[in-house]
Amino acid sequence: MYALDDTHDPALESWVESANRPCNDFPIQNLPFAVFRRAGSAEAPRGAVAIGEQMLDLRVVHELRVLRGSAADALEACTGSTLNAFMAMGAGAWSALRKALSACLRRGSPAASALRAALLDQADAEFVLPAYIGDYTDFYTSIHHATAVGRLFRPDNPLLPNYKWVPVAYHGRASSIRVSEHSFARPMGQILPAGGVEPVVGPSARLDYELEVGIFIGAGNALGTRVPIERAEEHVFGLCLLNDWSARDIQAWEYQPLGPFLAKNFATTISPWIVTLEALAPFRVPWSRPAGDPQPLPYLDAPQVRARGGIDVQLEVALQTQAMRARHDPPHTIARSSFRHAYWTVAHMVTHHAMNGCNLEPGDLLGSGTQSGPAPEEAGSLLELTAGGRQPLVLPDGDRRTFLLDGDRVVLRGWCERDGAVRIGFGKAAATVLPAAR
Ligand code: CA
């Protein structure tokens, strides 16, 4: 796990003035990575690091030859159209580049005048997926979500007995993952009408979002090898926001016995910026098991996980209907939660995923599962917020929602803040629902 160093110093300020404003997502203590091209251009995508409302074009930084040694080697790996090569280099390279960029971006840095040539506004960028995602696995780490959803699907048996022993997951679909600010068609599917015995085919009428954290694997593990829990985080490059769009009516009919399939593989949205695990070091929190629950099996237990395994990423979901957008009303916040409530940590997910020798690859994506907190208003999906569609959500203009309608835009946000540290943010993961394709 990363120690705090001078890159986390709350007193640090940047010569990029927008980075010093309070409540901005990208102060110099953050330095998250993305891949972009100029909006509307046919340029080859390349890596970027966010600073305030602007960003450094890492290909230009490389051409300016302002970095030396291992930081320069790491920088070169960020000049291509994906970050996979950089992710594969491991924590030493990630830290070296973070340290060098932090030094260059500080107020008073002699590199400032040269680096202005590499700076551009985030508003002028079009983001693409930050990595080639070979595989995507979605976990189910919120016991509050698992219990609430289980109650709707199986009222007499909400939480299955394996939940407290196994970090449960399913293998998702990587090809339909998109970066924030896209739109997608409402899925068609087989749906069993209430009280019916035969399914009908039609557009999902119970389309939902899931408020999740995405976890990008950095260095992988070879097929047939395991990842000890003490070393699990060495394999994690960083975190993003993730929306696992879910069609509840398709899901209810298809999910037994093999789990989610077409209810979830039609679209997944991630935020463009990956916040590194190192940037999250000030926001680590203890992780524990409630007394009376089974303690993790030895391969999933380590003192460092109990001491600092959790991450207090505050999460928020907001909804903007088509009518709100027409009036230029901002998205309305409908729920807040935190990743600190997760029943299983990032380290548990990685170690369990590889316990059978399954090889994780650089750029693989893990989803945390819907992050619902203990209180009902902290629910990370409409399924929970509306009690399975029985209690509509009332928006400020009086409009009501049980599930999403065409034209609805869902915006996920995440940030970390605590006394003694500078607030860092994840930006947003937003997408809009279009009518079903016929
Ligand atoms: Ca999910």
By residue count, the chain amounts to 438
Q: Burial, 39: exposed, middle or buried (Cβ in 10 Å; 0-12, 13-18, 19+)? A: exposed
| 257: Cβ contacts below 8 Å, ≥ 6 apart | none
Domains observed in the chain? 6-128 (2.30.30.230), 136-434 (3.90.850.10)
Interval 336-363: pLDDT, tens: 999 999 999 999 999 999 999 999 999 9
Q: Given the structure tokens 């899931």, which residue do they identify?
A: 210
CB 208 within 8 A of CB 403: yes
Residue 163 scores a pLDDT above 90:
yes
Q: Which long-range contacts (CB under 8 A, 24 or more apart) does 285-288 make?
A: 285/310, 285/311, 285/312, 285/340, 286/310, 287/345
Identity (one letter) of the amino acid at 195? Answer: G
The answer to whether residue 145 is catalytic is: yes
Alpha-carbon distance of 399 to 42, in angstroms, equals 41
Catalytic residue among 8, 62, 145, 352: 145
Rg over CA atoms, the chain = 22
- Reported as a pLDDT band with limits 50, 70 and 90, residue 1 is confident
Distance 6 CA to ligand 1 centre (A): 36
Distance 180 CA to ligand 1 centre (A): 17
Interval 255-267: pLDDT, tens: 999 999 999 999 9
Distance 140 CA to ligand 1 centre (A): 7
Alpha-carbon distance of 220 to 121, in angstroms, equals 33
Distance 367 CA to ligand 1 centre (A): 7
Instruction: Check residue 174 and report its DSSP letter.
Output: S
Q: In the prediction, which pLDDT does 154 show?
A: 84
Cα 352 off chain centre by? 19
Give 269's Cβ-side CA count (13 Å radius): 24
